[in-house]
Amino acid sequence: MKAELRSLPRTLADLVAQHLVASGRFLDDDPELAYQHARVARRLASRLGGVREAVAITAYLAEHYDEALTEFRAVRRMTGNHEVIAMMADCERALGRPDKALALTKDKHVNELSEPTQIELLIVAAGARRDMGQTAAAIQTLDVPELTKRTRAEWLPRLRYAYADALEEAGRTDEALVWFHRAAGVDGDGLTGAAERAAQLEGLEFTDLDEDDTVLDDEYFEEEDEVEDDDEDLADEADLDEPEDDTDGDTEAEAEDADHESEDEADEAEDEAEDEADEAEDQADEAADEADEAEDAAAEAEDAADEAGDDLDEDGFDEFDDVAEGVKDSAADDEGDKPKGAEE
- Predicted confidence (pLDDT) per residue in 43-99, tens digit: 999 899 999 999 999 999 999 999 999 999 999 999 999 999 999 999 999 999 999
Contact criterion met (CB below 8 Å) for 59 and 33: no
Q: Which residue has the higher pLDDT, 315 or 21?
A: 21
Give pTM, 2 decimals: 0.58
- Candidates 137, 125, 185; CA nearest to 161 is 185
* Alpha-carbon gap, residue 285 to 277, rounded angstroms: 12
- How would residue 317 be classed by pLDDT, with cut points 50, 70 and 90? very low
* Alpha-carbon gap, residue 161 to 178, rounded angstroms: 10
Buried b (16+ CB within 10 A) or exposed e, 303-317: eeeeeeeeeeeeeee
Q: Which residue has the higher pLDDT, 225 or 340?
A: 225
- Candidates 28, 22, 25, 27; CA nearest to 189 is 28
User: What pLDDT score was predicted for residue 3?
Assistant: 84
- Predicted confidence (pLDDT) per residue in 11-57, tens digit: 998 999 999 999 999 999 999 999 999 999 999 998 999 999 999 99
Name all domains of the chain by residue range, CATH numbers in brackets. Answer: 1-81 (1.25.40)
